[in-house]
Amino acid sequence: MGFRLWGRRSVSPTCRTTRRQSKRRRLSGAAAVALVAASATACSNEAIDQWSRGGMPEGVTEQSQIIQTLWNGAWIAALATGVVVWGLIFWAVAFHRKKRNSEALPPQVRYNLPIEILYTVVPVIMVAILFFFTARDQTEIMKVSGTAPVKVRVDGYQWSWKFTTHYQGQKVEVAGVPVDLSKQSNENPQGPQLVLPVNTKVEFELHSDDVIHSFWVPAFHFKQDLFPGNVVNRFEIKTLDRTGVFIGRCAELCGADHSRMLFSVKLVPQAEFEQYIKSHAGSAQ
């Protein structure tokens, strides 16, 4: 019978071999899928982390946590607004279109006072809420207690940085030159390096010798301008318990070699920081 030909008994040895091969192929295929799934999981965990931070790098200061929360909140509010607006657009497009067999326009809504009041008042309330949280967090992250055990004077110039670190009466100076961009990478950041301890308050004082620059460490989630003259900006961070090397940049287009104004911040344990200060104190690098 026709269907018997496809039954188990009527399978030829050749067919059996093919089946064994395909079984083996299926097994190696499953292994490959498992491998891809395993690496995709590792990859997706990283990607999920990145998504949960709204594309921001992982913060390394207490202040960066405040900014991260504000950033996420603003995105959630913007997406919620987007969902309502997109919903209304699609609803209008789907249910209030011109009829195919009629020349008449759908009912037009003009000068509807309650709706006009609504779409004036609602955005004002939304902006007021965003303003409240922004002002509250800005006040918090701009607080300078004056009690930070580590103080860093940052001098920006065309086109590098000088960091003068003060700690327990000792001073370490690091001055840089414009970096060679062909050597720059995230793994091997070029330019002057500012060494700081973890779990510590650090106060920054920003000066410029020439034009306006901007001190930016993406992992701080923060940047601030450096002005020439008598305007001195100050800010303070409290580093988290996270060691590593984090890249820094000038975030103000300050001249031809602005892009070469790179630096890095190295966060080390307290003991290592004290050792660094001891071995470099008084020396200008």
The residue within the footprint of Cu ion, chosen from 60, 261, 262, 268 (CB under 5 A), is 261
What residues pair up with 56 in beta bridges, in sequence order? none
Q: Is 254 in the site for Cu ion (CB under 5 A)?
A: yes
* Between 70 and 262, CB nearer to Cu ion: 262
Task: State the minimum distance, in angstroms, from the CB of residue 213 to Cu ion.
Answer: 3
Instruction: Convert residues 58-87 into a mask of x (bound to Cu ion by CB under 5 A) and - (unbound).
Output: ------------------------------
Quote the least distance from Cβ 76 to Cu ion, whole Å.
34
- Using the minimum distance from each CB to Cu ion, give the nearer residue, 152 or 250: 250
Binding window for Cu ion (CB under 5 A); candidates: 39-47, 65-73, 95-103, 261-269: 261-269
Query: What secondary structure, in 3-state letters, does the chain show?
Result: CHHHHHCCCCCCHHHHHHHHHHHHHHHHHHHHHHHHHHHHHHHHHHHHHHHHCCCCCCCCEHHHHHHHHHHHHHHHHHHHHHHHHHHHHHHHHHHCCCCCCCCCCCCCCCCCHHHHHHHHHHHHHHHHHHHHHHHHHHHHHCCCCCCCCEEEEEEEECCEEEEEEEECCEEEEEECCCCCHHHCCCCCCCCCEEEEECCCEEEEEEEECCCCEEEEEHHHCEEEEECECCCCEEEEEEECCCCEEEEEEECCCCCCCHHHCCEEEEEECHHHHHHHHHHHCCCEC
What minimum distance in Å lies between the beta carbon of 178 and Cu ion?
10
Q: Closer to Cu ion at the Cβ: 239 or 264?
A: 264
Q: Does 250 sit near Cu ion (CB under 5 A)?
A: yes
First to last CA, the chain: 92
Q: Which x/- pattern over 167-206 shows residues binding Cu ion (rule: CB under 5 A)?
A: ----------------------------------------
Residue 213 within binding range of Cu ion, rule CB under 5 A: yes
Per-residue CA distances from 27 to 15, 36, 38, 196 (Å): 18, 14, 16, 52
Comparison of 254 and 268: residue with beta carbon closer to Cu ion? 254
Instruction: State in angstroms the smallest separation of the CB of 235 from Cu ion.
Output: 17
Stretch that binds Cu ion, among 64-72, 78-86, 236-244, 254-262 (CB under 5 A): 254-262
- In whole angstroms, how close is the CB of 212 to Cu ion at the nearest point? 8
Stretch that binds Cu ion, among 41-49, 62-70, 102-110, 208-216 (CB under 5 A): 208-216
For residue 191, the minimal CB distance to Cu ion (Å) is 12
150's CB contacts (< 8 A; 6+ apart) are 165, 166, 167, 196, 197, 200, 201, 202, 203
Nearest approach, Cβ of 214 to Cu ion (angstroms)? 7
Min dist. Cβ of residue 163 to Cu ion (A): 15
Residues that bind Cu ion (CB under 5 A): 213, 250, 254, 261
